[in-house]
Structure 1
Amino acid sequence: MGTTEVGVSLNALAYEHGRERGYLPSPELTFRKGVSENLDWGGRLCLLGLELGTRHRLVERSSWTWSLAPSAGVWYVPVTNNSTEPVNFRLGAKTLLDYRLSRAWTVTGGASLMGAFAGPLTTFQGRFNGSHLLALPGGSLGVAFRLRPSLELRAEGGLELPLDLSEGRRQLTGHAGLTLRWSRADVR
């Protein structure tokens, strides 16, 4: 409660590119604001999208914390793949387990399930031909090292398995990156 965090991330995304894999750098800005002892809100902004969400701490023990983080986002995906769906709207949640190895080291594992609407740019004109509904189960693993009380370095990677609700499984996608995160107590 009463803490604001700001982060800068440099990630790489792996995605379907025709019949091969494509890779794209993806810088991000992240922010979180503590609302109460067990609730914060925040988001992330990258070159091609915005996601907003909350995080609810469900259980906290001396060495671990379990949280639920629902979110919603909009993304523009300008890559050539086997289907042309540059407009993506997502809604879903992650469950996160933080395990503190020491005062400086934390390991975070997560599982997510997102639902997505993916469609062509004609969606903005009310034409939905070529649009798809997707289920996106995924997982992530990260490790953080606290450099100072208000500065943290985090490495994280994750995978997502897109499932088209009408056509079946698509190629696996993934991300990996580094985040430098600053926090400060708000002055009242």
Structure 2
Amino acid sequence: MTPRHVTWALGLGGLLLIAPGCMSGARNLGAATTPAGTTEVGVSVNAVAFERGRERAYLPSPELTFRKGVGENWDWGGRLTLLGLELGTRHRLVERSPWTLSVAPSAGLWYVPVTNNSTEPVNLRLGAQALLDYRLNRTWTITGGASLMGTFAGPLTVFQGRFNGSHLLALPGGSLGVAFRLRPNLELRAEGGLELPLDLRDGRRQPTGHVGLTLRWRRADAR
């Protein structure tokens, strides 16, 4: 892995962010599961992209993440942002050096504090992401991801039992991440991705881009 490759990957993420959309979908995950008996904690800065009138606007989105190793081939965890909470598991399906393949189902509740022609404040998400790691060496790892999420999007009146203006969306997407192992227990990961929202009633919406940067460290659980 050369600096040129890193620059290319980060540049791709930046281009994806230019796509119009509503909010970040960065997950900042690799395919390698957290070892049993350890916990990973991370701090992320992702980008939230939304429409403001006819223009696009962007805001940083701080995020806290955690993953806890449970068994030999799976872990669980979540991410907490200023806009919502997501919880899920990750299951390693195949590991053949230098490749690792995993699937990560998740569910989340998000509040989108901006409105436009295609954004509703309340978002409930349920779906899964397939993750494929390619380890270049002990330091560098490239991760490709493919996801399919189902989303219920509605106004704040859904909490009062009124669902006028609600929509059901399918969101296929893809992502590309690059991880650099600073130390055995410390990792820096950059990620960029794209989602293609499809309203099941009204058709295709504007694509959504995201970028994210995460610093994650691992520690052994106290006994």
Q: TM-score, normalized by length of structure 1?
A: 0.97
Quote the Cα distance in structure 1 between the aligned partners of 2:46 and 2:195.
15
Identify the residue that residue 171 of structure 2 maps to in structure 1. 136
**Among 69, 92, 110, the residue aligned to 2:104:** 69
Deviation string, structure 1 residues 47-94 (Cα, Å, up to 9, x no partner): 010000000000011211000000000000011221451000000000
Work out whether residues 77 and 88 of structure 1, in 8 Å CA contact, stay in contact via their aligned partners in 2: yes
1:161–1:27 Cα change, 3 Å = same
Letter in 1 for 2:147: S
Higher helix share: 2
Quote the Cα distance in structure 1 between the aligned partners of 2:104 and 2:118.
30
Identify the residue that residue 165 of structure 1 maps to in structure 2. 200
Identify the residue that residue 23 of structure 1 maps to in structure 2. 58
Deviation string, structure 1 residues 115-143 (Cα, Å, up to 9, x no partner): 00000000000000000000011111000
1:4–1:100 Cα change, 3 Å = same
- The within-5 A match list for 1:36-185 is 36-185=71-220
Work out whether residues 118 and 205 of structure 2, in 8 Å CA contact, stay in contact via their aligned partners in 1: no
Identify the residue that residue 3 of structure 1 maps to in structure 2. 38
Partner of 1:11, secondary structure, is strand
Quote the Cα distance in structure 2 between the aligned partners of 1:86 and 1:95.
27
Instruction: Quote how far apart the aligned CAs of 1:3 are.
Output: 1.4
Q: For the aligned residues, what is the CA RMSD?
A: 1.0
Work out whether residues 9 and 27 of structure 1, in 8 Å CA contact, stay in contact via their aligned partners in 2: yes
Quote the Cα distance in structure 2 between the aligned partners of 1:149 and 1:84.
41
Letter in 1 for 2:57: G
Quote the Cα distance in structure 1 between the aligned partners of 2:206 and 2:197.
7
Identify the residue that residue 47 of structure 2 maps to in structure 1. 12
Quote the Cα distance in structure 2 between the aligned partners of 1:110 and 1:177.
14
Kindly tell me the number of residue pairs found equivalent between the two proteins. Answer: 188
Instruction: Quote how far apart the aligned CAs of 1:20 are.
Output: 2.7
* Higher relative contact order (CA closer than 8 Å, sequence separation 6+): 2
Where does structure 2 lack aligned partners over 5 or more consecutive residues? 1-35
Partner of 1:36, secondary structure, is coil
Higher strand share: 1
1:102–1:84 Cα change, 3 Å = closer
Letter in 2 for 1:35: V
1:177–1:159 Cα change, 3 Å = same
Instruction: Quote how far apart the aligned CAs of 1:25 are.
Output: 1.0
Quote the Cα distance in structure 2 between the aligned partners of 1:113 and 1:47.
23
Q: TM-score, normalized by length of structure 2?
A: 0.82
Quote the Cα distance in structure 1 between the aligned partners of 2:77 and 2:93.
17
